[in-house]
Structure 1
């Protein structure tokens, strides 16, 4: 599939270049254009596949799993290609399209209640054949699609009720419906954003192990979000893009060298073993599959030779890398012991040939050749510290494609996708005087961007200055890169399966430090339609894991592990419309998609409380727990986003952009690895919930096209319905998940297409007339959308705890405000009353040292449901902006709970309204004569909440409410002024 995608890109480049050489000088096509014609293209995106397992009609030797009932969800990146034909009649466009794609979509499910069985489904290919119906306006085609869908999957089942691994595959048919928007970029090139839902119904799949076999029933559905490019080699130019005019060529011949940075993700698979590894995997239950992910950077050296529009060349590329994966493998189906499999990539590279075509200052190319990867691996029993290791360099092949743009006579920038395949190779693992082999298969997807310096000038040496690629009239594009440094937490609370109000355990992966590289873009047209998004890839390290159990072996247990070797990837895609525009300042609304993947790994196990779990004195059989891999959590969130976007031109070179989004529906699929517990490793989890995301960036225009900026981001997810299934337990256990991350980023971006027509200053910046003064005096009313963090503390009369007695909260808020301002010169004085709905909540452990036996440790938590303020503000007006500080009275409506269910069968809770104070500040911008948009921060302090108590004797008379509550909230504000700003 990746071969098809790369070939299509190369073909598109060639056809585009040839079209550019057609002798049509002086001929202009009608501005209307047409979508009629044949097209082909490629896409990237994300997919979510749900697989529901149920008993098959002929269980055969799989009778031990005939009571199958489990749901598995797989999320991952996808890549594919499409081919189609459109016919335009008036503004309506009819068409047919075929599409095929692949990706890393591996789902697992605890597929038999009461056993250790795990069923896995790998989605290999997804294809559709659909009809399309759309409506065209300007450069935009909005369409719906429906038709047939096809799914090629492979499945497996393992468990203690039978030996070995049962495997099978099936090609299934179903139906699909979806829709999207396509934007004409050039006369024969368009970009699309699309959503599709696919349903494959319920069908049987045969699973076999040697001469044994049986069948299971699986119901499958899928959702896909895609970004793609379509190329039309023939037919009229696309609407609004002008004629296919010849473009000047450039000679790319010569030696070049450069640097690059990027990220990689892929799949590591251990498939079989020999010697003691085969003995440890009774009847061949060996396979283990992990997701590798991380960052890379390095350099390249190459040579090009150009013949007409064709460019042939060779390149050597090498990258230092930090990629890794952990997975369960080498499982003994009888004793339920297992190994952990770990692989790292330290460096990788390629020796490749390149072939492309020059299209003006742009070079589209494909590449293929030999590839190498260097790193190390380890296989280790999860109940011992002995490791069997292997290291070395492996060879394989690679295939890729990219686009390169000439910045100056000698410098060029490029963006490239590469697929590396190292096949299945036998590796020798040694340790403790023993050695054995294991078959290891690895595939990697790499995205990288970089700069090249060409040592020769060639015959095009007269072209020495930077020239921006042209876009259709009325279109602009901003494309850039970021470095994002962040911190965050992942938390899960596990309840009793039958006594669902009782907390059984809690894991908090706290203060994980993230570092990631990301790319972002924004396309918009003169009619107000915009498409924007970003994607990032990075690492997670640092922080601590607290694993608590209620009850544990003896008393309350709280074990500590160090976090490292984690990975992070995320993305967003938004389609919106600018509701208001004034010059370069805008306010728009959007609907979008969010995805977040996180993997964290906890090493070591130290008992902080008084239980025997991970207590060195009582666990001599595990003498060096401090170095062992103990716990891992891998989660994927996907969500729908509804939000507002504003861009405020504060000064000629200074712009503030703010995004505020509420995520009303989110899905979470995850896997827990308790590495010391083969019986529950892996533990499959799933849930649905909601979230929020806020982002703000202040950018500075270095030139009229190049910007640099500094920004911040906050995201929060929580479930309101989640569960997992345990072996030997016939019903599922309820769970609650929280995920939070926030940090700062630096960025640089380049703007393509139209820029505001104006006289330019010496630095090439557009200039404008001196603005008329703005007067902020008057009454206003408006709305607010935002969110943020909170923190509560509890006053325990018992021995100081090892952790807890404090809760981190997060969430969203939305509300309204009414206020008035008076301006005196540049000084603005005002007063405001506000009220907001909020959903800011969290839980943690309180009074864990209370002397109440094995179930000690209580689940405490709060949820802030409403916020209000009456404040004064003091501001300073500059041009159309008002910078201000704010402070005054605040109140909240909150619910507090204190879970004593293990002892009393009740969960005392209390609703209260509390008063306190708020202090903050922000910036507001006069967008229209009656409309202003702003960014605001508020800190709230409410002191102690209204108290409540219990009559249960050990805690009788104690205040169970938090003794402090502090909130930090950030929001976008939109205000309507009843009197117009003077001067407008």
Structure 2
């Protein structure tokens, strides 16, 4: 992969050199004219999108020794809300403040903070955590670069959220749960591209990362008795909540430009065409969504299967990991523009170091699961709508990635199952791309990657078991920004 990224960088540098040779030096480096459309003034709007939570919980019994691992909850769900703000524009630079309030339907349950075991005889020992993020709000500053009808910006500030946390336990048929409501505080950071549509209306594509301060909750969980089995425990859970938001918005600006006749457009932006080859680089962030179940298969010579007996001890429910981390790479493609419609193809290759580790079936005994995405690549079609130097598009196609996985089973000894394999799947997403200057464009993009599921197995020599197996799936959500250079003249 390093060779792929290096080759892409060399090709981009070559393309830039060739492009600069074709264009007059003064024209290539000439700054765009001062915009006639102004972003200054108050605005208000609505938005909708999707959120990708990645929460950890470190659960323990009050007074017990610290456990070696953590459980994971991955709340996903739709978001919708509204925003209002004020911008000040000075030439091409825009400063602003914005506040927003959001409803969200994020929900998820994670098993394995203490243990997550379904025994061979049907007995259950499982403690889990459910997170429900009901709302969040932010108050942020914005700083951006405006060029005619679009604005590229970064944003950051404070964030708050309302979360309902439910601690659950099950021993055989005895079940118990306790819920608490917490208001969390933290910070928000992100960016996006906003483009003028008509009159005083504009649309935006935006990414936000939310990171909230950790909470510690003590819960008195009582279950049963059922058929003579019950429990009464004090659970201590330390929770950390993070969230990644991809959303689109519609704004209306007050008192900036007349809402009647559209403002004049930069002639170079109006003449800009997307048709042609391009090369570029990108960087961003990925947050994975892994489900897994561990299976310890019983040696039939030790315990022959019988009525009501299974041949394995397994995870009681699918457990979760959230591999996340930075990514960087390059892309190349070709566009065809017909009036406002743009059709294209694009391929990219990415280095990434997304990884995570958490509890396996028995966190108490030290069983664990770790996963890492080393690289991925996609080959996609693109379909978009272009207007005045910007392009809104959707994209989809095939995806490939290398996943490295390490699973640990603890019995009479510690057994480790390690695998590294290239998986294939599909990718879908969308974004917005805007012309900067000359043949340079910038884009903000979201991709969802699904690399399917697989089962890995390891033969073991143990007093009870003859093999250890893990079934896992891998999905990934990518948020990235890119810089492209179109080859040749416009």
Secondary structure at the residue paired with 2:487? Answer: coil
Question: Which residue number in structure 1 is paired with residue 26 of structure 2?
Answer: none
Match of 1:659 among 198, 202, 206: 206
Structure 1 residue 667 displacement after superposition: 6.3
Instruction: State the number of aligned residues.
Output: 415
Question: Which residue number in structure 2 is paired with residue 558 of structure 1?
Answer: 126
Structure 1 residue 829 displacement after superposition: 4.0
Structure 1 residue 976 displacement after superposition: 2.5
Name stretches of at least 5 consecutive residues in structure 2 with no aligned partner. Answer: 1-37, 223-231, 298-310
Q: More relative contact order in 1 or in 2 (CA 8 Å, sep 6+)? A: 2
Q: Is the 8 A contact 1:935 1:970 kept in 2?
A: no
CA distance in 2, matches of 1:842, 1:947: 17
Equivalent runs, 1:401-416 vs 2, <5 Å: none
Q: CA separation of 1:668/1:561 partners in 2, compared to 1, >3 Å: closer, same or farther? A: closer
Structure 1 residue 573 displacement after superposition: 1.7
Structure 1 residue 680 displacement after superposition: 8.9
CA distance in 2, matches of 1:495, 1:822: 55
Structure 1 residue 926 displacement after superposition: 3.6
Equivalent runs, 1:138-177 vs 2, <5 Å: none
1:975 and 2:483 aligned: yes
Q: CA separation of 1:752/1:863 partners in 2, compared to 1, >3 Å: closer, same or farther? A: same
Give CA-to-partner distance per residue, 1:717-747, whole Å, 9 cap, x none: xxxxxxxxxxxxxxxxxxxxxxxxxxxxxxx
CA distance in 1, matches of 2:434, 2:469: 48
Q: Is the 8 A contact 2:350 2:377 kept in 1?
A: yes
Structure 1 residue 585 displacement after superposition: 0.5
Give CA-to-partner distance per residue, 1:781-833, whole Å, 9 cap, x none: 12142434423444746569674345353635432213131537566443423
Question: Which residue number in structure 2 is paired with residue 475 of structure 1?
Answer: 40
Give CA-to-partner distance per residue, 1:316-336, whole Å, 9 cap, x none: xxxxxxxxxxxxxxxxxxxxx
Q: CA separation of 1:814/1:924 partners in 2, compared to 1, >3 Å: closer, same or farther? A: same
Match of 2:195 among 641, 645, 648: 648
Structure 1 residue 780 displacement after superposition: 1.8
Q: Is the 8 A contact 1:840 1:863 kept in 2?
A: yes
Question: Which residue number in structure 2 is paired with residue 772 of structure 1?
Answer: 271
CA distance in 2, matches of 1:551, 1:926: 49
Structure 1 residue 600 displacement after superposition: 1.7
Q: CA separation of 1:693/1:979 partners in 2, compared to 1, >3 Å: closer, same or farther? A: same
Structure 1 residue 837 displacement after superposition: 2.1
Structure 1 residue 634 displacement after superposition: 3.7
Structure 1 residue 599 displacement after superposition: 3.6
Structure 1 residue 777 displacement after superposition: 0.4
Two-structure CA RMSD over aligned residues (Å): 4.9
Q: Is the 8 A contact 1:646 1:933 kept in 2?
A: no
Q: Is the 8 A contact 1:544 1:561 kept in 2?
A: yes
Question: Which residue number in structure 2 is paired with residue 873 of structure 1?
Answer: 381
Q: CA separation of 1:945/1:875 partners in 2, compared to 1, >3 Å: closer, same or farther? A: same
Equivalent runs, 1:203-242 vs 2, <5 Å: none
Question: Which residue number in structure 2 is paired with residue 736 of structure 1?
Answer: none
Equivalent runs, 1:726-875 vs 2, <5 Å: 750-755=252-257, 764-766=260-262, 768=264, 771-772=270-271, 774-794=273-293, 796=295, 803-809=316-322, 811-821=324-334, 823=336, 825=338, 828-839=343-354, 841=356, 843=358, 845-846=360-361, 858-864=367-373, 866-875=374-383
CA distance in 1, matches of 2:398, 2:237: 48
Question: Which residue number in structure 1 is paired with residue 430 of structure 2?
Answer: 922
Q: Is the 8 A contact 2:49 2:248 kept in 1?
A: no
Higher strand share: 2
1:695 and 2:243 aligned: no
Q: Is the 8 A contact 1:633 1:671 kept in 2?
A: no
Secondary structure at the residue paired with 1:949? Answer: strand
Question: Which residue number in structure 2 is paired with residue 408 of structure 1?
Answer: none
Larger Rg computed on CA atoms:
1
CA distance in 2, matches of 1:631, 1:692: 21
Match of 1:888 among 359, 379, 398: 398
Question: Which residue number in structure 1 is paired with residue 460 of structure 2?
Answer: 951
Name stretches of at least 5 consecutive residues in structure 1 with no aligned partner. Answer: 1-472, 616-624, 700-706, 708-749, 849-853
Q: CA separation of 1:587/1:601 partners in 2, compared to 1, >3 Å: closer, same or farther? A: closer
Structure 1 residue 887 displacement after superposition: 2.2
Q: CA separation of 1:680/1:537 partners in 2, compared to 1, >3 Å: closer, same or farther? A: farther
Equivalent runs, 1:177-326 vs 2, <5 Å: none
Secondary structure at the residue paired with 2:271? Answer: coil
Give CA-to-partner distance per residue, 1:696-717, whole Å, 9 cap, x none: 3142xxxxxxx4xxxxxxxxxx
CA distance in 2, matches of 1:927, 1:636: 39
Q: CA separation of 1:801/1:781 partners in 2, compared to 1, >3 Å: closer, same or farther? A: same
Question: Which residue number in structure 1 is paired with residue 406 of structure 2?
Answer: 897
Q: Is the 8 A contact 2:116 2:315 kept in 1?
A: no
Structure 1 residue 844 displacement after superposition: 5.9
Secondary structure at the residue paired with 2:468? Answer: coil
Structure 1 residue 870 displacement after superposition: 4.6
CA distance in 1, matches of 2:194, 2:421: 37
Give CA-to-partner distance per residue, 1:36-89, whole Å, 9 cap, x none: xxxxxxxxxxxxxxxxxxxxxxxxxxxxxxxxxxxxxxxxxxxxxxxxxxxxxx
Equivalent runs, 1:189-588 vs 2, <5 Å: 475-480=40-45, 490-494=55-59, 502-503=68-69, 506=71, 519-527=83-91, 528-536=93-101, 549-550=114-115, 557-558=125-126, 568-576=135-143, 578-579=144-145, 581-588=146-153
Question: Which residue number in structure 2 is paired with residue 452 of structure 1?
Answer: none
Secondary structure at the residue paired with 1:900? Answer: strand
Q: Is the 8 A contact 2:45 2:249 kept in 1?
A: no
